[in-house]
């Protein structure tokens, strides 16, 4: 659990991931990393840089280009007592190993009557913004939130990136940790010591009184910027970061909505069928009598992610998209 007495300093999101993995490898001999280019190259995003030299090729393992094989290996290793941390380079590539994740990893503990534990952590990178086009820019978290047996985590800052990853690796169930490429250079205060951010616990990032924005991953920063902009309209916006999408801390979200009476959910994924729809439904189940307006949603258009920088800038939601939707919701009440 997180403590307030830990020494903190400012570091980057990517270094927070690297540090978490180094400390986990040091603390637990059953932890190992595996994936494409994680060892010699140090990961395409630098999240395992230097770890093979420190821990050796049996703890930091370069694998063939076979996502199905990588996850299958991790399932077998976890069932026999190890704690694999798997890197799937881009979230788009989970399509190659969906059977292993959805029909094996998520279900084995249930099918074996609890006699097998599957402490597998799958790390991957989602989101657009780097002009990597339709096959390297998707946000597919809703797929996995729909599968019983899986936990799904989306950090929004360096502190949570480290703490949630530590909690995921220590958890006895499979956890997907979904980072956003555009946040890797983000700076923030991170304790030097090993610590956990509890899975399934949301955080109120900004206190407010008359509007709630629930935002995930990179959209948390966009929501905070939108909240500042909306302050000029006399609106005092509260921003809630779920941090874990499965299990979802609906009580923290509903408590906020009961206070503010208006809400919007923002994510980078395609709006249709996104996790935002589930959060909206649960808000209306838990706090319907407190709502003064329908709950809004912000997400990407129903289209593949464009390669063109100009089109991608229009595609990915941002603070302006959020501000526009908030004003639309408020305008319905006039």
224 and 170 within one domain: no
How many residues in the chain? 334
CA distance 224 to 272: 23
pLDDT in tens, 256-278: 999 999 999 999 999 999 999 99
Whether 155 is in a domain gets the answer: yes
Q: Which residues of 185-221 are buried (b: 16+ CB within 10 A; e: fewer)?
A: ebebebbeebbbbebeebbebbebebbbbbbbbbbbb
Whether 246 is in a domain gets the answer: yes
At residue 213, φ and ψ (nearest 5 deg) are -110, 120
pLDDT in tens, 28-67: 999 999 999 999 999 999 999 999 999 999 999 999 999 9
13 and 80 within one domain: yes
Instruction: Answer with the one of 146, 166, 191 that is the final residue of a domain.
Output: 191
Euclidean distance between the first and final Cα of the chain, in Å?
A: 46
- Which among 186, 192, 166 has a CA at the least distance from the CA of 177? 166
In angstroms and rounded to an integer, the radius of gyration of the C-alpha atoms of the chain is 20
Report the CATH number at residue 80.
3.40.50.970
Residue 265 tokens, joined: 């959910």
208 and 113 within one domain: no
185 and 207 within one domain: no
Whether 2 is in a domain gets the answer: no
pLDDT at 8: 86
Decide if pLDDT at 142 tops 60. Answer: yes
Whether 132 is in a domain gets the answer: yes
Active-site choice (19, 36, 87, 136): 136
Pairing of strands 151-153, 244-246: antiparallel
Number of domains in the chain: 2
At which residue do the structure tokens 């099918």 appear?
111
215 and 187 within one domain: no
Whether 282 is in a domain gets the answer: yes
SS (H, E, C) 236-284: CEEEEECCEEECCCHHHHHHHHHHHCCEEEEEEEECCCCHHHHHHHHHH
- Please count the other Cβ atoms lying within 10 Å of the Cβ belonging to residue 140: 18
Report the CATH number at residue 268.
3.40.50.920
292 and 182 within one domain: no
CA distance 37 to 42: 6
For the whole model, what pTM was predicted?
Answer: 0.95
162 and 223 within one domain: no
175 and 79 within one domain: yes
Whether 151 is in a domain gets the answer: yes
135 and 34 within one domain: yes
- Please count the other Cβ atoms lying within 10 Å of the Cβ belonging to residue 95: 12
Active-site choice (19, 67, 87, 268): 67
CA distance 258 to 251: 10
Task: Verify whether residue 67 is a known catalytic residue.
Answer: yes
pLDDT in tens, 289-302: 999 999 999 999 99
Task: Verify whether residue 146 is a known catalytic residue.
Answer: no
Range of the domain at 322: 203-331
Given a contact cutoff of 8 angstroms between Cβ atoms, the answer to whether 188 and 7 are in contact is no
147 and 209 within one domain: no
Whether 3 is in a domain gets the answer: no
pLDDT at 5: 56
Instruction: Answer with the one of 145, 169, 191 that is the final residue of a domain.
Output: 191
Decide if pLDDT at 190 tops 50. Answer: yes
155 and 123 within one domain: yes
Instruction: Answer with the one of 191, 214, 236 that is the final residue of a domain.
Output: 191
- Which among 319, 323, 320, 317 has a CA at the least distance from the CA of 128? 317
Whether 196 is in a domain gets the answer: no
Q: Three-state SS for 131?
A: coil
pLDDT level of residue 89 (50, 70, 90 thresholds) = very high
pLDDT at 6: 76
Residue 127 tokens, joined: 């989101």
247 and 164 within one domain: no
């Amino acid at each position: 659990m997180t403590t307030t007495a830990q020494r903190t300093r400012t570091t980057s999101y990517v270094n927070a991931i690297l540090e978490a993995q180094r400390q986990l490898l040091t603390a637990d001999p059953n932890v190992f990393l595996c994936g494409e280019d994680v060892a010699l190259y140090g990961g395409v995003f630098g999240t395992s840089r230097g770890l093979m030299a420190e821990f050796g090729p049996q703890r930091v393992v370069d694998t063939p280009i076979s996502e199905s094989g990588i996850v299958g290996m991790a399932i077998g290793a976890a069932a026999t007592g190890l704690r694999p941390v798997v890197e799937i380079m881009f979230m788009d590539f989970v399509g190659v190993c969906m059977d292993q994740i959805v029909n094996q990893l998520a279900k084995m503990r249930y099918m074996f009557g609890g006699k097998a534990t599957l402490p597998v952590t799958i790390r991957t990178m989602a989101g657009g913004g780097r002009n990597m086009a339709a096959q390297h820019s998707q946000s597919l978290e809703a797929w996995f939130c729909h599968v019983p047996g899986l936990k799904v985590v989306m950090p929004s800052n360096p502190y949570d990136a480290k703490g949630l990853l530590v909690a995921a690796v220590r958890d006895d169930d499979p956890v997907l940790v979904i980072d956003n490429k555009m946040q890797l250079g983000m700076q923030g205060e991170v304790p030097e010591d090993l610590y956990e951010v509890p899975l399934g616990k949301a955080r109120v990032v900004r206190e407010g009184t008359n509007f709630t924005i629930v935002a995930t991953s990179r959209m948390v920063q966009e929501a905070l910027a939108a909240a500042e902009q909306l302050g000029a309209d006399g609106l005092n916006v509260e921003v809630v970061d779920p941090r874990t999408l499965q299990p979802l801390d609906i009580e923290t979200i509903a408590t906020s909505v009961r206070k503010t009476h208006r809400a919007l959910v923002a994510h980078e994924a395609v709006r249709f069928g996104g996790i935002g729809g589930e959060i909206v439904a649960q808000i209306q189940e838990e706090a319907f009598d407190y709502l003064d307006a329908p709950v809004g949603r912000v997400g990407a258009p129903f289209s593949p992610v464009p390669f063109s920088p100009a089109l991608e800038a229009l595609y990915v939601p941002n603070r302006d998209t959020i501000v526009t939707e908030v004003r639309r919701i408020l305008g319905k009440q006039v």
